Structures are given as C-alpha cells and as structure tokens.
Amino acid sequence: MTSNVVKVKEEAMSADIIPFDEIEIRDEAQVEALRAKLLEWSESDHAAFAAQSREFMRACGVPATSPNAEEGTTVSSFINGVPLYSIADTTLSEFDGILTNARRGAKLWNELPLFGRQAFFRILAEEVGIKYKAAIDLAITLEVGKAGSEFEKTTSWDEWAASPQVRRYLSGTFVMDDLGRKYYLSQIKHIPEDAQNVYFYESDSARGLGICGSTNGFNYPAALAVPDVVASRVGGNAFIGKVPSKSPAFLYIRRIAENEALDLMAERFNEYEWAGQARSQGVDLEDATTLRRLKLSFGIISGRNVIEPWAKECSTLRVVGGKQAGQVFRELRKEVDPRLERTILELAGNNPVVIMPSAANLKGGLEKIVATLADGNKSNSGQRCTSPRRWFVHKDVYEEVKKHAIASYESSANNEDGAIDNPLNHKTKIGAMDKGGFKAAQAYLEEARKAGATVIGGQRLYADRFPNARYMSAALVIWEGVSEAKKDLMHAEEVFAPIANLDRVNDLQEAIDKTNRSTEHLSGGFYCDNEHIDELSRFISRTNLGSLIHNGAPKDLSPFGVHAGRVDGGVGITGSLKSLDQYMRPKQENNTRLLARVDSIEAAKLLADELLKLK
C-alpha cells in the first residue's frame, strides 16, 4: 500500500490534475469532462486517476486524504482496484460534537411547521437536486464501479416527502361525530347520517423522536440512504448517517445539496404563509444561528469507533446490510428498542420467483418473463437486494423456460454484447463488483458443480486488463437431476452476485415449500394469469415474503409501497405512509385543538374537501 501511495504522490504532481477548489460539482459540463478524463486514466495512468478522483471527492465535501492503510478507512475503486483516498474514523470526542449539534437541530426541525419541512423537500425535488446528479453518479461510479444512475430513486423520495399524501398522514386531522365515532378526512363519506354534529380536530402528531440514523449498503449508496434521510427530516428529526466503508461519498454530497435548499428557504422565508407560525415556535430562518443549527443537524460518522454509542443514541435506526450486520445491530439495539419497533433492518434477500403454467398466456409469453428476470438478475452485477435468485418453474412450462434462460445466459457468458465494461463509459450497462461478492460467487458455483448442477456463465472478465478488480458474467445454475438434499445450497443463504438458480417444481405446494426453505425474505415474484389468481392467494398466505409482485420481478416498491424484510431478511418497513410511524412520537389524541364544528353531514363533507385541498 505504501509504495502505491508514494507512486501516486510522485507521478500525480506532473499530471493535469484539477484541484478541488477549481471543481464546481453543480457544473454538469465540467463533471462530464472530468468523467472522460478519469475514464482514460482509469486504464492508463492509475496515479493520475487516484489523484484526480481524490480532488473530485474533496470538492464533493468528502474529507479525503491520500490513502494510508494505518489511518482511517481507505476507499479503493471497484473499477480497477486502485486506492483512491482515505477518510479518518470518527473519534468519540468528535461524535460528542456531532451528537450535540444533532440534539440542537432536532428541536428546531421539530418546531418547523410541517408545511416548512415539505417546502424544504419540494425545493430539493424541483430545484436543487438535479444540479448534483452528475456529481452523484460520478462519485458512485468511481467508488463502487456502478453503471447507470440512482438519481431517479432519490428524487422520488424527495417528491414523496413533499406530497399531499404525506401531509395528510402527518397532519393528524380527524373528524368525530357527536356519538364519539372517529374518522379521517378521507373517510368522511362513511359517517352515518344519524350524526347530529361533526367536530374537526387537528392532533399534534407530526412530532419527531429526536435523532434518527442509518447505515446504507455499498451496492446502492444513494437509493439506500435516502429513505432514512427523508423520513427522518419530514418527521421532525435530526439525522446522523454512518457512511459505508466502500462508498462514503453520497451522504457528503447530499449534505451539500440540503444546505443549499435551506439557504433558498431562508431567502424566501417571509414569502411563506407558515413563516409566522415558525417564528412563534422559535424557528426564524433569517437568524444565522438557527440556520446554522438546522444545517448541523445532518451529521456524518465513519469507521467503527463510535458504532455502539451511535446505535444507542438514535431513536430510530435503519440499517442495510447482510445477516451478520443484523445480528450486530439487534444486539446493540436491545437496550434502547427491545421490541425493535424503531429499528429497521433491511438484510439478505434470497428472492424467489414462481412461474405457473398459466404464465404462458401473459402478454409476451414465457420468453418475455425470462428476459425480465434475467435482466433483473444481471443488473448491477447481481448485487441487488431484490435480485431474482431462485426460479421455481412448474413442470408444464419448465422446458420452455429453461430454453429461453439458457439462451439468455449463454449469450452473456462471454460478454459478446459488451454490456459489462468500464462503468465510466456511459455506454456500459453493467460495471464491476466487489471482491468479496466475487469470491463468494465463485465458491458457490464450484459447490453447485460438485453437487451435480449445470452452470452457464460466471466467468471472470478482464482479468488482464483489470488484474486488481472483479468483473463477472452472470451465471445460471440449473438444478435438474440433483437430489433435493444437495439443493439445500441454493436455499441456505443469499449469494450477493449475478447468479440465478433454475429449479423445476411439480405443483404450487412444492413452490411454496421451496420458497420457505430460505429464511432470507425480502421480495418475490409470482407469474399466473388472472383466471388463476387463487394460486397467487395461496402463495401469499403460505409464505413470508416482505413483498410480492404479481407478474413481475422482485422489486423495491418504496417510497409509495412497502419494502420490508422477514425473518433473516430483516425487520421493520421502508416506504409507504405507515413507515413514517417508526420515526414519530405516538399520536396522542388528547393533544388536539378543535378546528371547527358543523351541524350536518353535507357541511362536513364540503369542509373536508376544502381541508384536503389545503393539505
């Protein structure tokens, strides 16, 4: 490591390196020019590649220094294995300061009216966020070798936080008739006609717990971090995030973007209808101290020194990782959250897909189904929590599904279409993967071959071109002719790599049984036509998946739908309005104010319509 660092320092001095203070990360043209330069250097001049990457990260707010294995966490690029930079591990003393700032900021976020919090996310979604897209994409690609963009997912969360649905859910407005029957505004039509008077109340429910935190996975550094960032803040909390050791950059960029959004809110403060209420509650955005404290409520930690106090100080904690991470954080949280009501663990996903005979009747037929599943399995080098990993195909359609699957994986085995390549090239569809995932994948494929399974694909690519990186073609494991006992391998645990397992089942019950042989449940897919919807019903009732997609590949449905783990797949939920309860104080009905009283159902419906428009 030391010799590599010296080489970078000596050779980079003469390279055409743009220093961090001359890089404007909101300038898309400049960022794209940097990307082109880094693409060339990633294959020809590793010293310049590392030096320029480090300067870019510093411009993104990352406290990046020259790589040093003895100081903090060293980040190496998945693209070519070159060490890019190091960041110091957070000390206990530093954490105390971050915690103090978060506590101060949490009080302000809690007193900022919900309209103000939603205005903040509307600015991020509509004005500020897009300025940072190119920088976010480049940072993630440099660190984890990812092709494509996660920006659409991050924007969807900001839009969701600013939506009327979230406003209505958090506002706590409800209706009671004179007999004490309670309804929410959207249920007003259900109030019986015998109600003589209708009372409109607003409950003080949009109150945060204090400090929320998250640690996100390296495979989707932005999309996996944003849910907790957003849910924390719209609920009235401060946020402290632990950056993943392989891909720290996103949270630093997000913090810069959020600070810009706060500055815009401050400039427009007197134009907002809720400004007077905010001032009366101690949140004056024209006050420099208030604005600074709101900004400092976004804290970032790194390394392992402070994990335990951080996990215990967070009222709500959301963790994305594997089964081992789940065990660690379950233990750390048992004192502060013994029932795991405010601990959200998104862990392993050994996701099943069931294809029943009637699936052949769907538009596009079995060929389209296989193409969809193969694409979901291959994308992001298979390092997706919702990757379709176990395909259980009914015997009546098995041969045709197998034919299309073999064709798909044979065509990609040698990367003839060039889909897998250097991810700094925008034409690349699939980039590199982490070395740990590659090693586990190769061990799994070897065990599958020993068990008697047929393996197509799974080769390492570009070993000469990138000897210190790992590129791998997707693999199809066909379990035909293997004993059920030896098939335990595919059910045992998730292999975080582009591997699909194809297995024949005789009936629906066998598909249910095989689904349940894994305990790592996140999402699943089930294919049947509408005339056989009873099969879907039976599958839902007898399995324990976090979510199930009818006639589609496993998918993360958040923010509008639920994304959740079960058993070893995790606990808690991400996405949907209900998920906000994990970040909020319990709704106290006795802490309410009377908005209005009307003396007829007709008047109640009219008033409800007007209130819904406002919210």
Query: Is position 568 within any domain?
Result: no
The pTM score is: 0.90
179 falls in which pLDDT band (50, 70, 90)? Answer: confident
Give kind and range of the element (H or E) at residue 251: helix 249-267
Which of 9-18, 100-109, 539-548 shows the lowest mean pLDDT across its residues? 9-18
- Tokens standing for 257? 């973007």
The reply to whether 600 falls in a domain is: no
Same structural domain, 380 and 506: yes
* E strands in 327-473: 343-346, 351-355, 388-394, 454-457, 460-461, 471-472
DSSP symbols for 71-101: SSEEEE-TTT--EEEEEPPPPHHHHHHHHHH
> Which amino acid is residue 466, in one-letter code?
F
Q: Is residue 156 part of a domain?
A: yes
Q: In b/e form, how buried is each residue of 72-84, taking b as 16+ CB within 10 angstroms?
A: bbbbbbbbbbbbb
My answer on whether 101 and 247 are in the same domain is yes
- Bigger pLDDT: 70 or 29? 29
Q: What is the mean pLDDT of residues 280-298?
A: 97
460 and 332, same structural domain?
no
Whether residue 27 is contained in a domain is answered as: yes
| Count of Cβ atoms closer than 10 Å to residue 451 Cβ | 17
| Statement to judge: residues 265 and 372 lie in one domain | no
Domain end (from 64, 87, 110): 87
| C-alpha dihedral, 313 to 61 to 153 to 475, nearest 10° | -90
Domain encompassing residue 28: 2-87
Give kind and range of the element (H or E) at residue 35.
helix 28-44
Assess contact for 587 and 203: CB atoms under 8 A: yes
Q: What is the number of domains present in the chain?
A: 3
Listed residue (411, 413, 372, 419) closest to 391, CA to CA: 372
Tokens describing residue 446: 């070897």
Task: Establish if 25 belongs to a structural domain.
Answer: yes
Domain end residue (candidates: 34, 69, 87): 87
Q: Are 249 and 62 in contact (CB under 8 A)?
A: yes
Decide if 361 contacts 526 (C-beta within 8 A).
no
With contact defined as beta carbons under 8 Å apart, do 447 and 439 qualify?
no
Contact 158, 99 (CB under 8 A): no
State whether 116 and 81 are in the same domain: no
Q: What percent of the chain has pLDDT over 90?
A: 80
The CATH number given to whatever domain includes residue 418 is 3.40.309.10
pLDDT band at 84 (very low <50, low <70, confident <90, very high): very high
Q: Quick one: which of 161, 165, 201, 166 has its CA closest to 180?
A: 201
284/275 Cα distance (integer angstroms): 8
pLDDT at residue 202 in the model: 72
Query: What residues form DSSP beta bridges with 177?
Result: 198
- Which helix (H) or strand (E) segment is 118 a member of? helix 114-123
pLDDT at 587: 60
SS3 state at 201:
strand
Burial profile 23-40: b = 16 or more Cβ within 10 angstroms, e = fewer: bebbeeebbeebbebbbe
316-320 and 211-215 strand pairing: parallel
Give the model's confidence band at 183: pLDDT under 50 very low, under 70 low, under 90 confident, else very high. Answer: confident
> pLDDT tens across 381-437, in order?
999 999 999 999 999 999 999 999 999 999 999 999 899 999 999 999 999 999 999
Same domain, 240 and 277: yes
Which residue, 506, 544, 542, 507, is CA-closest to 524? Answer: 544
Q: To which H or E segment does residue 234 belong?
A: helix 226-234
- Residue 205: pLDDT band (50, 70, 90) is low
Confidence of residue 5 (pLDDT cuts 50, 70, 90): very low
The rounded distance, in Å, linking the Cα atoms of 69 and 89 is 12
In a domain, 271, yes or no: yes
Burial of 130 from C-beta contacts in 10 A (0-12 / 13-18 / 19+) = middle
User: Does 480 lie in the same domain as 365?
Assistant: yes
Is 72 contained in some domain? yes
Do residues 404 and 530 share a domain? yes
Q: Which of 265, 334, 255 is nearest to 298 (CA)?
A: 255
- CA atoms of 13 and 2, how far apart (whole Å): 17
The verdict on 579 and 501 lying in the same domain is no
Do 103 and 63 belong to one domain?
no
| CATH classification of the domain holding 252 | 3.40.605.10
- pLDDT above 90 for 153: yes
Q: Could you tell me if residue 605 is inside a domain?
A: no
Q: Residue 448's closest CA among 399, 406, 499?
A: 499
Strand-pairing partners, residue 212, are 239, 316
Q: Are residues 268 and 357 in the same domain?
A: no
Q: pLDDT digits over 329-343, tens only?
A: 999 999 999 999 999
391 and 484, same domain (yes or no) = yes
Which of 31-35, 186-190, 312-316, 448-452 shows the lowest mean pLDDT across its residues?
Answer: 186-190
Q: CA separation (Å) from 450 to 215, 304, 456, 518?
A: 37, 39, 14, 21
Q: What is the pLDDT of residues 226-272, one digit of tens each?
A: 999 999 999 999 999 999 999 999 999 999 999 999 999 999 999 99
Segment 92-102 mean pLDDT: 98
pLDDT, position 241: 98
